[in-house]
Structure 1
């Protein structure tokens, strides 16, 4: 009110701009003068004029107001970065998903929104959304937490695969036991417990290779080991399909394949949801829906 009154010819004009009564402006200015212990205006029948102290104060006040207004930018002004999509968004996703599908979605988003900053953490360790201040997560498998807004965007099929050369050398297994007990296999370490992940089979059966020929905690390293002919591996669509189409890998025991697992994009239930978080969330939903699959 003080800044508006300082710019107006009189308190009545200031009151009209502020949609209040002149008495309110007069009272507020008087209270400010009492608080500061200095007169801010010279008053006369022709109007008001700032005192020397008031002129110094109004410059400082305008700078302070400009800083406050910067916290609440006007949206949609031409030629300006849209501040509502600026800022940091923290995303967690499993390395098992692979870097390529994520970056194919996120890189164009960053190019289109220069003020957006993404902090992407890839790990199979389950993230504590609150402690790690995670905005958005990607999970393969069922969502058991009711505290999230989750969207199922795709399904992941799993294939037991090997190189044609390895299959020709050791033979294609005819049973799960023959595969896991008598053939060289790869294994992925579950970083949540330090043990190898179980392989998934039809009827919810789960079992790990007896004596794996190659062990790693990196999904792309396991993919490379399978492509190098070190052993049979169970890989998801997005890691197996390109090599299957090219004939560099073949699948075995297809009749024992498990039901596909869902891919979820999720965020914490909070309100309001920042526009930048909604933007990244929807982009991941649309982008990960295009994951390679067995039906592709």
Structure 2
């Protein structure tokens, strides 16, 4: 397959020297390579570029018209790659990040922006949603997820482990009484249900392989974050990741129900798709966001039963 930029380079040098042998010396190739490149270029454009005889070559009328356009294309190509390299050196361009609505959401974004103050040409696109964006379609550079295990073709930075807790406001627990088991919980308490934004259906309350259910008549169906607010108000009993509700549990604003039920461990991790070449701006933001997340969500040893 003809390398068109390389063929244009051969043509422009040949147009300057009007000698294929000298052209070959300048380009560190054989004269046969120069002749072949010119012939293939002529075939590609459908016109003769040089008139040749045994002693000299000279440009045809078409070749003279083609030469300034060829030079411009080579200059544009050189400028394109030079600009890209310079941008990568001083870290410029867009970095797209997707993440669910986590606690300290505003603080995490604010701290990341502050740490990027010396890189004014890095532009952040920040997608906060529980719906999983398609990495290729949305050109996502990195993301934060809570899940059982990441995809095998991702570069992953583990942040911490989390488990879900059944929580309610003290006044709701006092009004409904402490439940004896999950069936008793469903009978006594108004429950919340988190909506799966990809399907529009509610997520189940999954504890382990033997124990899980979908609330039959949820008093609240909501996306990320709002179940916690409803639980704090005393409206519902909610099933929330401990990383989200720990501060309210510590402050006594929420209490945990049925803490002895074994439950699944979830991983909070930062990831980026694996590429053979990753821009320096993406690597920088990935490292900074890792450090910030690890400060806000330190690795903890859960003492809950597994």
Give the TM-score range, shorter chain. Answer: 0.5 to 0.7
Q: TM-score, normalised by structure 2?
A: 0.66
1:118 is matched with which residue?
125
Contact 1:196–1:208 at 8 Å: present in 2 too?
yes
- Aligned position for 1:160: 166
The alignment status of 1:275 with 2:279, answered yes or no, reads: yes
Q: Does 1:220 align with 2:229?
A: no
CA displacement at 1:104 relative to structure 2: 5.1
Aligned residue number for residue 285 of structure 1: 290
Residues 96 and 258 (structure 1), Cα distance of their counterparts in 2 relative to 1, 3 Å cut: farther
In the TM superposition, what is the alpha-carbon distance from 1:203 to its structure 2 partner? 4.9
Structure 1 70/102 Cα, relative in aligned 2: closer, same or farther at 3 Å?
Answer: farther
Between the aligned partners of 2:202 and 2:226, the Cα distance in structure 1 is 15
C-alpha spacing 1:293/1:206, structure 2 compared with 1 (3 Å): farther
Question: What is the root-mean-square deviation in Å for CA atoms of aligned residues?
Answer: 4.7
Q: How many residues align?
A: 286
Residue 242 of structure 1 corresponds to 247
Return the offset for 1:173.
1.4
Change (3 A) 1:96 1:192: farther
C-alpha separation in 1, matches of 2:203 and 2:211 = 13
Question: Which position in structure 2 is the counterpart of 1:71?
Answer: 80
Alignment match, 2:52: none
Cα distance in 2 for partners of 1:150, 1:105 equals 23
Describe the shift of the 1:197–1:236 C-alpha distance in structure 2 as closer, same or farther (beyond 3 A). Answer: same
Q: What is the CA deviation profile of residues 47-99 of structure 1, one whole-angstrom value per residue up to 9, with x for unaligned ones?
A: xxxxxxxxxxxx999987775444334899xxx97546321222222336773
2:99 counterpart residue number:
93
Displacement of 1:285 in angstroms is 3.2
- Give 3-state SS (helix, strand or coil) of 1:230's partner: coil
Structure 1 residues not aligned, in runs of 5+: 5-16, 21-58
Partner Cα distance (1:195, 1:2) in 2: 63
Q: Deviations over 1:150-181 (max 9, x none)?
A: 42512122111111111112112121111123
**Equivalent pair of 2:146/2:267 in contact (CA under 8 Å):** yes
Corresponding residue SS for 2:184: helix
Q: Does 1:130 align with 2:136?
A: yes
Contact 2:150 2:156 in 1 (8 A): no
**Matched residue of 1:248: which SS?**
coil
**CA shift in 2, pair 1:204/1:149, >3 Å:** farther
Residues 237, 292 of structure 1: 8 Å contact kept = no
Matched, 1:182 2:191: no
